């Protein structure tokens, strides 16, 4: 199977900032590559290079078989770009936004129109098609942006932080949309700050930090590496924190941490732990006001991978 996206040794410097310090990326055809990293890690710079908007200082990249520097026109004919800040034209209606792209791509007026209708319906925007994008909610704008990037039927799609700034409900809605797009057979490069998002959507995840790749793995591999899920328990009576910690130690065999708010957190690799814990809590008559399983946050991932958090001011490695 060939790679639809293949980049090696990409470097890019803006003034005194080394945005990329030798990044390799690869996405097989028809798969989703998640690029995970904090703000300022170089994700957007990498996407802009792969979308032919920037020329790398060094390194090479091929998209759909074409070199992004030497054959930009061929690359542009095969990609769809949705930016971090939804790049729809706010003064145009939903329909006009899509018509514009269709006509620029050389579709006839009729083709552009039917493509617009089709995409608006697909993205559940038909009812708002005649309103200016200015009046759209954040989620609607993202969907229109994504629709606009699909007008030309691209085989490679870049989604640069598609859910940043959306509330959790809208985020899941956007995930469904992304899954459907992937189901249509395109190769997708998705950048995100959330491990949860990369886990939900990507086939493989590349973690970058300060312009360098610090990990590349499948979501399962990565989760295994950073210690699977986190369990959080908060007993209603703070005095019983120690009892909870003892319970957890007995069940998991690993130590736990207690926050100042009386939350006990520990790593969990075994999916059967939660029901077991609930049973023991009930047996001991410990009431809890919070009990949750969640994936490690980006902070926790970075702590595990680099030994430090995502503080982007800590750039000693980038020099």
Number of Cβ within 10 Å of residue 93's Cβ equals 19
For other proteins, the binding residue among 34, 40, 80, 262 (CB under 8 A) is 80
Of the ranges 150-158, 202-210, 259-267, 279-287, which one interacts with other proteins (CB under 8 A)? 150-158
- The answer to whether 25 and 46 are in contact (CB under 8 A) is yes
User: Among residues 66 and 302, whose Cβ is nearest to other proteins?
Assistant: 66
Number of Cβ within 10 Å of residue 88's Cβ equals 26
Number of Cβ within 10 Å of residue 259's Cβ equals 11
Of the ranges 148-156, 164-172, 235-243, 266-274, which one interacts with other proteins (CB under 8 A)? 148-156
Any contact of residue 35 with other proteins (CB under 8 A)? no
d(CA 252, CA 259): 19
User: Among residues 184 and 269, whose Cβ is nearest to other proteins?
Assistant: 184
CA dihedral 311, 312, 315, 319 (to 10 degrees): 160
Q: In angstroms, what is the minimal distance from the CB of 299 to other proteins? A: 28
b/e for 241-253, b at 16 or more Cβ within 10 A? Answer: beebbebbeebbe
Any contact of residue 202 with other proteins (CB under 8 A)? no
For other proteins, the binding residue among 37, 154, 162, 262 (CB under 8 A) is 154
Q: In angstroms, what is the minimal distance from the CB of 29 to other proteins? A: 5
Continuous H helices in 210-268: 219-226, 241-252
Q: In angstroms, what is the minimal distance from the CB of 262 to other proteins? A: 44
Helix or strand holding residue 297 (H, E): none
d(CA 269, CA 271): 7
Any contact of residue 118 with other proteins (CB under 8 A)? yes
Which residue shows structure tokens 């690869």?
26
Residues 180-199 within binding reach of other proteins (CB under 8 A): 180-181, 183-186
User: Among residues 75 and 281, whose Cβ is nearest to other proteins?
Assistant: 75
Contact residues for other proteins (CB under 8 A)? 1-2, 29-30, 48, 51-54, 64-65, 73, 76-81, 83, 85-92, 96, 100-101, 103-107, 118-119, 122, 132, 148-150, 152-155, 157, 180-181, 183-186
């Amino acid at each position: 199977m060939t790679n639809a996206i293949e980049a090696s040794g990409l470097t890019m410097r803006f003034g005194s900032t080394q945005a990329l310090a030798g990044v390799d990326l690869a996405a097989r055809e028809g798969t989703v590559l998640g690029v995970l990293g904090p703000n300022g890690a170089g994700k957007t710079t990498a996407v802009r290079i792969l979308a032919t908007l920037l020329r790398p200082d060094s390194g090479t990249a091929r998209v759909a078989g074409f070199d992004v520097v030497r054959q930009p026109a061929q690359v542009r004919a095969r990609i769809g770009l949705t930016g971090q800040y939804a790049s729809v034209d706010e003064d145009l209606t939903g329909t006009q936004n899509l018509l514009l792209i269709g006509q620029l791509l050389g579709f006839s007026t009729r083709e552009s129109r039917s493509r617009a209708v089709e995409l608006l319906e697909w993205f559940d925007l038909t009812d708002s098609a005649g309103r200016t994008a200015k009046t759209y909610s954040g989620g609607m704008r993202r969907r229109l942006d994504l629709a606009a990037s699909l007008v030309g039927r691209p085989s490679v799609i870049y989604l640069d932080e598609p859910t940043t700034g959306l509330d959790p409900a809208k985020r899941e809605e956007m995930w469904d949309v992304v899954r459907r797009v992937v189901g249509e057979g395109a190769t997708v490069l998705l950048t995100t700050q959330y491990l949860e998002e990369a886990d939900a959507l990507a086939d493989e995840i590349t973690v970058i930090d300060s312009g360098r790749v610090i990990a590349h793995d499948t979501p399962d591999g990565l989760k295994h590496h950073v210690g699977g899920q986190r369990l959080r328990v908060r007993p209603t009576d703070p005095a019983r924190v120690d009892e909870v910690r003892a319970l957890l130690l007995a069940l998991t065999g690993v130590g736990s941490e207690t926050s100042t708010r009386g939350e006990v957190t520990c790593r969990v690799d075994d999916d059967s732990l939660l029901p077991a814990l609930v049973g023991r809590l009930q047996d001991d008559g410990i009431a809890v006001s919070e009990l949750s399983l969640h994936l490690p946050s980006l902070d926790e991932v970075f702590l595990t991978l680099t030994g430090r958090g995502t503080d982007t001011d800590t750039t000693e490695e980038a020099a």
